[in-house]
Amino acid sequence: MFERRDIVDLVLTSEQTMIRNEAAELARSLIAPRATGIDRTGEFPSDNLSALAQHKLMGIPFPTECGGRNGGHVSYAIALEDIGKACASTGFILGVHIMSAFCVYLFGNNEQKRRFLVPMSSGNKLGGFALTERTSGSDPSRIRTTATLKGSEYVLNGDKCFITSSGHADIYVVFAVTDPSKGTKGISAFIVERGYEGFGFGKIEDKLGLRAAANGELIFKDCRAPEENLLGTEGDGFKIALSAIDRGRIGIAALGVGIAQAALDSSKTYAKQRAQFGQPISNFQAIQFMIADMATEIEAARLLTQKAAWLADIGERFTKQASMAKLYASEVAMKATINGVQIHGGYGLLKDLPIERYMRDAKALAIIEGTSEMQRVIISRDELK
């Protein structure tokens, strides 16, 4: 007899269904038609985010008293799948926004939640997550940005790179070293708002995929943040980052499922329409087998993602499951989009069709928020302990 905690309820509640339907309709009617254009220009999708805010989709997991929808991780994952299916850049921006808001929700005091989480959850303010530096990607212990308490302010110095929504986000959760002698236990987290003295922005990277997500540099030169903007206590930063990234990986997994589903849908439509040797190519077993594999692997990725989200919602440990979902969904997205390009033949190489964009966006998912190799390290450590 299984214990209740071992059984995932796959039946969506009425609220979860409502959130999924709202996200799907918004993605179909507004976000999808703009996706190709912003991919080509790199334009930040502010209009998409405003629409998500109007539909109260910027704070899905958070309680209503914090400005959110009280939907939890499962609702967030299923909504992000549909948004990512339409436009991975928009979905990725939303995922990072939610991840940064979780830092405030989980570790902020009541005043910080009032000042920062409520406007983030309601969509009035966009959040950014500032951990990565040139010397520290998979190894956060090597961050060099410092924060020194001087009077009633922390003075931050250093640079961050590849930060999503750079220059567009209003509220950034910034990780900096407060005590270099303590390693990861000397890292702290701070809320830094755009416009603070000494806080600036560098170049936006020209990327292969997720081109509209505005990944760029943050520059701190004697940036002054009020002491009350410290999240938790000094030394809590590494714990805060890992907790947020676990949740972020659920978001990346949901994006992977969405991209893969978009590739499958496009491939099915094309295969039924494209005729060769007097019949649709969907009649050929080689195509049918690719479609079958794509559909099966996408469903498995979706279930892994929902399992991790469900565990997070019921308060169980979910680090390994989030890594499994992120690892598998990102690699399924890559495989599905490569097969999708193959099914489209020569047309799959053209920017006139979205399938090549799906492939470029999918590649990013195996790298961001922890590479596939790092996910395997996390999973194997848990399995072998």
Instruction: Kindly give, in sequence order, each residue whose CB lies less than 8 Å from that of residue 139, ignoring residues fewer than 6 positions away.
Output: none
Write down the catalytic residue from 65, 153, 369, 373. 369
pLDDT for 8 equals: 62
383 in catalytic set? no
Longest distance between any two alpha carbons in the chain, whole Å? 79
pLDDT for 326 equals: 98
- Please give the average per-residue pLDDT across 92-110, as a whole number: 98
Percentage, residues of the chain above pLDDT 90: 94
Tell me the average pLDDT of the chain: 96
Q: Report d(CA 168, CA 285) in Å as an integer.
A: 48
- C-alpha torsion angle, residues 15, 19, 25, 26 (rounded to 10): 150
pLDDT for 6 equals: 53
- β-sheet bridge partners, residue 276: 279
Tens digit of pLDDT for each residue in 210-242?
A: 999 999 999 999 999 999 999 999 999 999 999
Six-digit token string for 196 = 């603070």
pLDDT for 39 equals: 98
pLDDT for 5 beyond 50? no
- Please give the average per-residue pLDDT across 107-115, as a whole number: 98
Percentage, residues of the chain above pLDDT 70: 98
Query: Pick from 299, 308, 294: which is nearest to 358 by CA?
Result: 294
Q: Report d(CA 385, CA 374) in Å as an integer.
A: 17
Is-contact 47 106, C-beta < 8 A? no
pLDDT for 1 equals: 31
For the chain, domains (ranges, CATH) are 4-126 (1.10.540.10), 128-237 (2.40.110.10), 242-384 (1.20.140.10)
| DSSP summary character for residue 155 | E
Q: Report d(CA 380, CA 385) in Å as an integer.
A: 8
Q: Report d(CA 328, CA 300) in Å as an integer.
A: 9
